[in-house]
């Protein structure tokens, strides 16, 4: 296969990595397996246009994207509905999409898996037409990301620490939102501290990622904790992956949903794949089965 690797030198763990050594090892592993490889290393301000160029090239079969959540989400959106495949280099903080695809979490292991890998089709989701690979969320998660972005950190561990500090701050003053949620024929008016909508249902007993990235449904999670003790219990449940058992989360699933916000709630931001975005008064969420071709290890389930 013909690979083009697009690496964000400012994204994820690559900002502290030896990119020359990584590129050399990548070339060795892929070319020894009979593939061709072009490598494009760019800063975060240019990564979008470099990914767009690779996605549009007729001389590319696989776009190997390396960086944080934003880089991978951008690459997936550009490749949605195309024959080209995305290879996800796990260079982010949690690498949740890569985990769901069964990709090894060390860089060399991932590249070695790509050398002998296979292409499968997995789902994507969208919020008002904007594609996402992991999650759209409002309330708790969005406020945590907003607070975290005001903090300084220069490494993966630093980002994790900043997330914990932001979560602790939220416990003192959790958001309260009035929303209308339509799932199928059911229309629900509710006050909530947060709603997350995932690209396929999160698995149980681990970090929040989908065990089946081709399940064909949105996971919809409505959080209800209000007091500090309830908030602590909620975060413990989420860390342990206890989505279905948590008394502070109502879990639903559907092929589509409509989220309406009004009044003061409109001032809250939303998060799409880790990036803060403006929360629209009405958000239409959909699943797109088999919309993205991905390169996964040969032993990964079809």
Tens of pLDDT, residue by residue over 253-278, are 999 999 998 766 556 789 999 889 99
* pLDDT of the residue at 230: 72
Identify the weakest region by mean pLDDT among 99-113, 122-136, 150-164, 176-190: 150-164
Q: What is the reported pTM? A: 0.88
- Predicted confidence band at 145 (pLDDT cuts at 50, 70, 90)? confident
Q: Taking phi first (over 0 means left), then psi (-120 to 50 degrees means alpha), and beta for anything else, what does residue 216 get?
A: left
- The beta strands (E) that lie in the chain are given as 2-8, 36-42, 62-67, 85-90, 118-127, 130-132, 135-139, 177-183, 186-192, 194-199, 218-223, 249-254, 256-261, 269-272, 275-278, 282-296
Q: What is the pLDDT of residues 183-193, one digit of tens each?
A: 988 899 988 88
Strand-pair category, 177-183 with 186-192: antiparallel
Residue 154 has pLDDT above 70, yes or no: no
Alpha helices, DSSP H only, in 220-279? Answer: 228-239
Strand-pair category, 218-223 with 85-90: unpaired
- Predicted confidence band at 235 (pLDDT cuts at 50, 70, 90)? confident
Max alpha carbon distance in the chain (Å)?
Answer: 59
Residue 240 has pLDDT above 80, yes or no: no
Q: What is the pLDDT of residues 95-118, one digit of tens each?
A: 999 999 999 999 999 999 999 999
Residue 82 has pLDDT above 70, yes or no: yes
Give mean pLDDT, residues 229-238.
72
Alpha helices, DSSP H only, in the chain? Answer: 19-32, 47-56, 69-79, 96-100, 107-115, 140-148, 156-172, 228-239
% of the chain exceeding 70 in pLDDT: 86
């Amino acid at each position: 296969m013909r690979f083009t690797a697009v690496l964000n030198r400012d994204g994820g763990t690559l900002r502290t990595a030896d990119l020359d050594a990584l590129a050399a090892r990548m070339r060795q592993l892929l070319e020894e397996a009979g593939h061709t490889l072009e490598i494009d290393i760019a800063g975060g301000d240019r990564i979008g246009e470099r990914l767009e160029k690779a996605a549009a090239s007729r001389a590319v079969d696989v776009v190997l994207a390396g960086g944080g959540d934003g880089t991978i989400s951008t690459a997936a959106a550009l490749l949605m509905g195309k024959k080209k495949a995305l290879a996800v280099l796990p260079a982010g903080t949690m690498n949740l999409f890569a985990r769901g695809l069964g990709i090894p979490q060390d860089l060399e292991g991932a590249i070695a898996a790509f050398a002998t890998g296979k292409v499968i089709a997995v789902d994507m989701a969208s919020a008002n037409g904007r594609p996402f690979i992991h999650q759209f969320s409002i309330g708790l998660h969005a406020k945590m990301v907003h607070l975290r972005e005001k903090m300084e950190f220069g490494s993966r561990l630093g980002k994790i620490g900043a997330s914990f500090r932001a979560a602790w701050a939220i416990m003192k003053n959790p958001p309260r939102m009035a929303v209308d949620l339509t799932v199928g024929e059911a229309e629900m008016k509710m006050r909530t501290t947060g709603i997350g909508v995932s690209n396929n249902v999160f698995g149980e007993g681990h970090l929040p990622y989908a065990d089946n990235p081709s399940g064909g449904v949105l996971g919809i999670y409505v959080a209800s904790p209000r007091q500090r003790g309830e908030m602590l219990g909620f975060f413990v449940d989420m860390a342990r992956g206890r989505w279905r058992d948590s008394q502070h989360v109502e879990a639903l699933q559907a092929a589509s949903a409509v989220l309406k916000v009004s009044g003061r709630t409109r001032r809250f931001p939303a998060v799409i794949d880790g990036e803060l975005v403006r929360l629209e008064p009405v958000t239409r969420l959909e699943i797109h089965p088999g919309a993205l071709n991905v390169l996964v290890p040969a032993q990964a389930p079809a």
